[in-house]
Structures are given as structure tokens and as C-alpha cells.
Amino acid sequence: MNKPDFRYYLITSRKACAPRPLPEVVGEACAAGIKAVQLREKDLSGNALSQLAHQVREVTAQYDARFFINGRPDVAEVVEADGVHCPEEGFPSSAVRQYWPQFSIGASVHSLEAAKQAEQEGADFLLFGPVFFTPSKEEYGKPQGTDRLKKVCDGTSIPVYAVGGVTPAKVPECMDSGAYGVAGISALMEADNIGRKVEAFRKQLYG
Amino acid sequence: MNIQDYQGIYLITDTQMQDRYSHVALADAAYRAGVKMVQYRAKDIPDRKALKQIRAITELESKKEHLLIVNDRSDLAKAGGADGVHLGQDDLPLSATRKVLGNEAVIGGTASNLKEARQVSDAGADYVALGHIFETSTKQKDYEPRGLVTLRQVRADISGPLVAIGGITLKNAPEVINAGADILAVSSAICTADDPQFAARTLAALFE
């Protein structure tokens, strides 16, 4: 597969952007230049998730942004998303590859071993983290740091996005470690001025 | 197996009320005992592991042409090689699920009253599961048991396969069958029995 056409991967959290509705915030981010969005709303039932996914699909399509659904290839198929994002213990990349060959596949990994496995299972790109400290990823333990990020980038041959506490200022050290891009939830979801924040990331990612 | 012709027991696997038997072991015991329909229902199991368990059930020698239905998730059903999916009122709509699984899949839906039963049936479900009929500890419910009165009402209205669910035991099963249920869904009656395979056989024998 061709390398992804995005360097920033926006991960949603409707709770982080409340009271503003998620589709509106995603639309603002896309208008500012975001080219890839992952819908990650794990607590929603299938029905509620598919309704929200339809709305976000509409917004992302308007801006020609790639749209991924976390962990649910069925929902991704129903809303005609571009891909599925597979959590490490979630729906396996190999099963998505086999039954939904139309999808592009991102996979979250928290170790080099898992990164190699995800690549072998057919993932198109990886999310590795948490690289830096972030409250939203506390469940995954201590920050892994850029040394481990570099090991994952060196040990795999597909693009790796750094996630977890990545601010615009920290983008250069991620790229120096071999990252293809960065991903984030709170950096944009909670931003007061999304356009300015996207621009700050853009300058660091594209120079 | 064609669900249109099935009159029998429908096991819903559970490993929260008990942990002596795995989903796979329960399904195997049921299929061996003459239960031709099993639903894999696992809460709080990561998808990667759930998919392995579903595939293990589809590969059981005892499974043969019997049915395996996956609760809620059409993606797990599809990738796991199951025969269909069971949808609650909060799950993906039936039309969307049909799109994912195709026309051959068995898709059932939950209803708690006549109105919902009609909706599920009209949406193209292969069976309607009405419940809960009696008090049940398997699932937290925020409404009263529906009882046999509602079951008879729905039976008079719905011609397709009708599944009764909730609090069904060996003791009350005969009256549920008399009230018009084609299929009895049970969980604790088999999963928590001293000998699940024996309990499944005893229940299945009610239809012989």
C-alpha cells in the first residue's frame, strides 16, 4: 500500500470536546487541514456509535479526509469509512484484512513485539505510545519515551505515528526518532482555537 | 439447519455467573446434548480473545450444521465464521447488520413487548426473542417480567420463529412451550447446572 497521505491522525473524544458536538469539532479540524480522523468512542452502543459515525463520515468526506473507526469493522462498513483502527487486544488486523480487504488498517501497539505482530498481520500503519505523559492514556502505564519509539520505527517497515502527550513542540523529536507522523486526542479536542493548533502542528510536521 | 423449522433449546453461554466452564466447553456440551442453537455472549472480553473463542466453537466437531449466533457484533460473527447475530435494541440496526452479514445469515432481535416484536419482525429478523418472561438474574433489567400473557399476545401476532427468554427453567419450560414459544433461550439453567450437558439434554427432551 502507498504510504498514508496524512501526517497528523486525529483521534476523537466526544467527552473531551463537550459541550460542543463532535461532528462540529471534527469539521473545524478538517477545515483547518486535518486529513485523517479516527472515531474512538468505546463506550457507545452499536446503534449510537453508527449514528455518530454517519455524521463524522459526512463531515470528513466533505473535506476529503480519511475516516477510521476504532475496533468495529461492521460499523466501518455500514458508514463506508476508509479504514479500521485496531487496538492491541481488539479486533485483529489480520481479520480485517481477510474479511474487509477494502479497508486501510491502523493498529495501536505498546511494544516492539506487538508492532512486529501488527505489521505481520497486515496493518498499514502503527500508532505507538504513550510516548510522553498524557492523562488520557494513563491506563497504558508510564510514558515509553522516544528511545522506544525509535526502536519501533527501526524494527518495522510501515509508518509509525507517535501518540500520547505529543504537542507541536515535541513533534521534531518524534520525527527524529523515525516517526512518520503524530496522533492525538486532547491536543485538538480540547483546544480553544483548533485552527491555530492545527497550524502549529502543520508547521512542525511539514516545515 | 433452518431456523424456521427449529423447535428446541437456545443456549446463551455465560462465564460471569460461573467460571467452571468456558464458552467453548458450554457450547460443546449443548451441541452434544441436542441443543442446536447457541449464542456466544461475552461481556468484557477483548475482541481478539472473543474472536478466538468464536472460531473455536465453529470448529467444534459437535457443532456440525447447528447454529452459532454471536451477541451484538456482526463483525465478530463474520470473521469468526458464525451463522448469525443477535441484536438488542441498542445494537446496530437490522438493515445495517444484514448488509454486513448477507441474506444467508440468521439475524434475531430482542423485543420486550408486542410493538417491539412487530418492529423486529417487520425489519426482517429471522427470529424474535421476547423477554424477559420471568425474573432473571442473568441480566439487569429495568422493567418487569413480561410473563406468559405477553408471550401469547406476541405469538398470536408473529408467525415467524419466536424465542422466549428470561428466567426459563426446566420447571416452567412446559408452560412457555404451551404459550407458543418455538424456541426457549436459557443461560443459567444450563451454565450453572452441576452437569451442563445433562441439564441441556433434559431441557432438549421437552421438545421430543
Predicted ipTM of the assembly:
0.94
Chain A contact for B99, CB < 8 A? yes
Chain B contact for A98, CB < 8 A? yes
Chain A contact for B73, CB < 8 A? yes
Residue A43: alpha-carbon gap to chain centroid: 17
Kindly report the nearest CA distance between residue A206 and chain B, in angstroms. Answer: 36
> How many angstroms separate the CA atoms of B107 and B73, rounded?
11
> How many angstroms separate the CA atoms of A29 and A134, rounded?
21
> How many angstroms separate the CA atoms of B90 and A46, rounded?
6
Per-residue pLDDT of A100-121, as tens digits, reads: 999 999 999 999 999 999 999 9
Kindly report the nearest CA distance between residue A85 and chain B, in angstroms. Answer: 13
pLDDT for position A1: 58
List the one residue out of B68, B120, B66, B61 whose CA is nearest residue B94: B120
For residue A136, pLDDT beyond 80: no
Residue pair A33/A194 in contact (Cβ under 8 Å)? The answer is no
List the one residue out of B37, B29, B31, B51 whose CA is nearest residue B1: B37
Which residues in chain B touch residue A75, judged by CB atoms under 8 angstroms apart?
75, 92
Per-residue pLDDT of A10-67, as tens digits, reads: 999 999 999 999 999 999 999 999 999 999 999 999 999 999 999 999 999 999 999 9
Residue A61: alpha-carbon gap to chain centroid: 17
Chain B contact for A102, CB < 8 A? no
How many A×B Cβ pairs under 8 Å? 60
Per-residue pLDDT of B156-183, as tens digits, reads: 999 999 999 999 999 999 999 999 999 9
pLDDT band with cut points at 50, 70 and 90 for residue A140? low
Which residues in chain A touch residue B91, judged by CB atoms under 8 angstroms apart?
45-47
Which residues in chain A touch residue B96, judged by CB atoms under 8 angstroms apart?
50, 74, 78
pLDDT for position A135: 74
Secondary structure class of A181 (helix, strand, coil): strand
The reply to whether residue B92 touches residue A74, judged by beta carbons under 8 angstroms, is: yes
The reply to whether residue B96 touches residue A71, judged by beta carbons under 8 angstroms, is: no
DSSP string, chain B: --GGG--EEEEE--SSS--SS-HHHHHHHHHHTT--EEEE--SS--HHHHHHHHHHHHT-TTTTT-EEEEES-HHHHHHHT-SEEEE-TTSS-HHHHHHHH-TTSEEEEEESSHHHHHHHHHTT-SEEEEE--S--SSS--SS---HHHHHHHHHHH--S-EEEESS--TTTHHHHHHTT-SEEEESHHHHTSSSHHHHHHHHHHTT-
List the one residue out of A97, A94, A91, A153 whose CA is nearest residue A128: A153
How far is CA A164 from each of CA A111, A125, A130, A187, B133, rounded to the nearest angstrom? Answer: 14, 16, 4, 10, 48
> How many angstroms separate the CA atoms of B135 and A205, rounded?
59
pLDDT band with cut points at 50, 70 and 90 for residue A141? confident
Its sign, for the CA torsion B121, B124, B125, B126, is: positive
Kindly report the nearest CA distance between residue A49 and chain B, in angstroms. Answer: 8
Q: Which amino acid is at A144?
A: Q
DSSP secondary structure letter of residue A9: E
pLDDT above 70: percentage of residues in chain A: 97
- Mutation pick from A74, A78, A98 vs chain B, by most beta carbons of B within 10 Å, is A74
Among partner residues A45, A78, A92, which is closest to B90 by beta-carbon distance?
Answer: A45
Which residues in chain A touch residue B97, judged by CB atoms under 8 angstroms apart?
74
Residue pair A78/A67 in contact (Cβ under 8 Å)? The answer is no
List the one residue out of A167, A117, A177, A124 whose CA is nearest residue A147: A177
Secondary structure class of A85 (helix, strand, coil): strand
pLDDT for position A39: 98
For residue A191, pLDDT beyond 80: yes
Kindly report the nearest CA distance between residue A42 and chain B, in angstroms. Answer: 12
Q: pTM to 2 decimals?
A: 0.95
**Which residues in chain B land under pLDDT 50?**
none
Which residues in chain B touch residue A107, judged by CB atoms under 8 angstroms apart?
none
